[in-house]
C-alpha cells in the first residue's frame, strides 16, 4: 500500500471487483472521453474480475503496476492509477495513467496520487523516467501532471486511439532526481 495524506493506493484484488464495476459504470460516459473503446463485457462483474487478474499477473511480471485510488476518510474506491509498459534494461521507464471519479475532480486527489506513485516508481521500482500522454484539451489532467513535477516535451500527433478517434497527445515526463547525483 502507498499512503498519502487524503488518499492511499493499493493493488486491487478480486474482492474489489464489485467496487471497480461500480466506479467504471458510474463514470462510463465521463471516462469514455479519455479512453479506448471498451467492450460491453468490461462493464460486467466477470469483466472486472478478469481485468484485476490480468493486472495481478502483469505486476508479477514487472510489466505494470495498477492500483485502486482510495479516499482515506471512508476507504472508498474513487479512481485508478497505473504505471504501464514498464521497460527495463537501458530504459528503466514507464507510462502513467489514471482515472478519477468525476465527483472527486478538483479536490487534489489525482495530484496526490500521481505524486505518491511517482515516488514509488523512483524509490521502490528504481525507474528513471515516467511519461504521460494527455489530450491537449484535457487541461485539468495536464495541470495535475505539472503540479506533480512533470514537464512538457511536445505533441505526439494522432498518437492514441481514444473512443475510436486517433487523438493528438501532449507528452509530459518526469525524470528520477536520484539519477542526476
What pLDDT does residue 162 have? 79
Q: What is the pLDDT of residues 20-74, one digit of tens each?
A: 999 887 887 776 766 776 787 878 989 999 999 999 999 999 999 999 999 999 9
Domain carrying residue 142: 2-180
Evaluate if residue 1 carries a pLDDT over 80: yes
Residues whose CB falls within 8 Å of the CB of residue 83, separated by 6 or more in sequence, listed in order: 64, 65, 94, 95, 96, 117, 121, 125, 127, 130
Answer yes or no: are the C-beta atoms of 148 and 130 closer than 8 Å.
Answer: no
Q: What is the pLDDT of residues 89-140, one digit of tens each?
A: 989 999 999 999 989 989 999 999 999 999 999 999 999 999 999 988 888 9
Q: What's the number of domains the chain is made of?
A: 1
What is the tally of helices (H) and strands (E) in the chain? 5, 8
User: Cα angle at 40 between 39 and 43, to 5 degrees?
Assistant: 110
Burial class (CB in 10 A: 0-12, 13-18, 19+), 38: middle
Evaluate if residue 145 carries a pLDDT over 90: yes
Task: Indicate the pLDDT class of residue 150, thresholds 50, 70 and 90.
Answer: very high
DSSP-derived 3-state class of residue 163: coil
| Cα separation, 178 vs 181, whole angstroms | 6
List the CATH number of the domain containing 35: 3.40.630.30
For the record, the C-alpha cell of 131 comes out as 511519461
Amino acid at each position: 500500500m502507498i499512503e498519502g495524506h487524503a488518499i492511499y493506493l493499493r493493488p486491487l484484488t478480486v474482492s474489489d471487483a464489485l467496487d471497480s464495476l461500480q466506479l467504471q459504470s458510474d463514470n462510463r460516459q465521463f471516462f469514455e472521453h479519455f479512453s479506448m473503446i471498451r467492450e460491453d463485457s468490461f462493464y460486467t462483474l466477470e469483466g472486472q474480475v478478469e481485468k484485476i487478474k490480468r493486472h495481478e499477473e502483469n505486476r508479477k511480471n514487472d510489466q505494470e503496476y495498477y492500483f485502486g485510488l482510495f479516499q482515506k476518510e471512508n476507504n472508498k474506491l474513487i479512481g485508478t492509477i497505473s504505471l504501464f509498459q514498464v521497460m527495463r534494461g537501458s530504459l528503466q521507464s514507464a507510462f502513467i495513467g489514471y482515472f478519477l471519479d468525476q465527483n472527486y475532480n478538483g479536490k487534489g486527489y489525482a495530484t496526490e496520487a500521481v505524486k505518491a506513485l511517482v515516488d514509488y516508481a523512483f524509490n521502490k521500482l528504481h525507474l528513471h523516467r515516467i511519461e504521460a500522454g494527455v489530450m491537449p484539451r484535457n487541461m485539468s489532467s495536464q495541470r495535475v501532471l505539472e503540479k506533480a513535477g512533470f514537464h512538457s516535451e511536445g505533441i505526439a500527433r494522432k498518437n492514441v486511439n481514444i473512443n475510436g478517434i486517433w487523438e493528438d497527445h501532449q507528452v509530459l515526463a518526469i525524470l528520477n532526481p536520484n539519477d542526476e547525483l
